[in-house]
Amino acid sequence: MARPDSLIIAPSLLAADFSDLRGQIALAEQGGADWIHLDVMDGHFVPNITFGPPLIHSIRKETRLPLDTHLMIENADAFIDSFRSAGSDIITVHVEACTHLHRTIQHIHQSGAKAGITLNPATPASALIEILPYVDMVLVMSVNPGFGAQAFIPSSITKIREIAGMIKEQRLAVHIEVDGGIDTTTAHSVVQAGANVLVAGNYIFGSSDIPTAVRTLRRSAKPPVIV
Ligand code: DX5
Ligand code: ZN
């Protein structure tokens, strides 16, 4: 896993052409994507259904990039080992969906994956207080999970800043990922607030030039200093 001070672009396959995932992943890689973000939805925790371990197993054969798996499911514990065996490198669970969150994080680590936790837009940063030292990544949802191409929720910026402060204060090495409505108009402010992993679905895979979209997003997140 990269250091938390490096900028990571994680294209979300949710917005990709599912009939050509091999080609879409190759284009994202050409543009310099760092991770591939995989949105797993169960139709219970979120009002949508996507895919599970078998598809991830196929994707694993197509790329060497870390597979960043965002579980929007109930009863994540029952599936952690299957996602890990399928090839997930990072497994992120929702605090709202895990009754025994500490145990779930332990389970993810025991499987050999890195562990992330994520907060819905209405869940405050304070929900992280007890669990923060045990995780590798915090994912701030900047839209309500379930669908791509939704509008960025501006209050996410304050939350990212607050979480970045908690991480700094405790001297932890934890990534802050942000997911939902990330494009060239929002990337810079979330990075300024302290995020270092940018998930983007629609901006990248909705583009007619996927490699350029990855590069443009990266550039917009850290605009050159003009002297
Ligand atoms: C939403 C997913 C996101 C989604 C983001 O539930 O977690 O990863 O793909 O899509 P965009 O970038 O289109 O907002
Ligand atoms: Zn996601």
Known active-site residue 183: no
For the chain, what percent of residues have pLDDT higher than 70?
98
Each residue's pLDDT tens digit, 79-95: 999 999 999 999 999 99
Torsion angle, alpha carbons of 114, 76, 14, 37, to 10: 0
Please list the residues that pair with 38 across neighbouring strands.
69
Q: Dihedrals φ, ψ of 173, to 5°? A: -110, 85
Which residues approach ligand 1 with their CB closer than 6 A?
12, 14-15, 37, 39, 70, 143, 145-146, 148-150, 179-182, 199-203
Helix (H) / strand (E) containing 140: strand 137-141
φ, ψ for residue 127, nearest 5 deg: -65, -15
Ligand 2 centroid distance, CA of 168 (Å): 25
Of the candidates 82, 170, 79, 165, which has an alpha carbon nearest to the alpha carbon of residue 131?
A: 170
Atom of ligand 1 nearest to the CA of 182: 12
Q: How many other C-beta atoms can be found within 10 angstroms of the C-beta atom of residue 70?
A: 28
State pLDDT tens for residues 162-215.
999 999 999 999 999 999 999 999 999 999 999 999 999 999 999 999 999 999
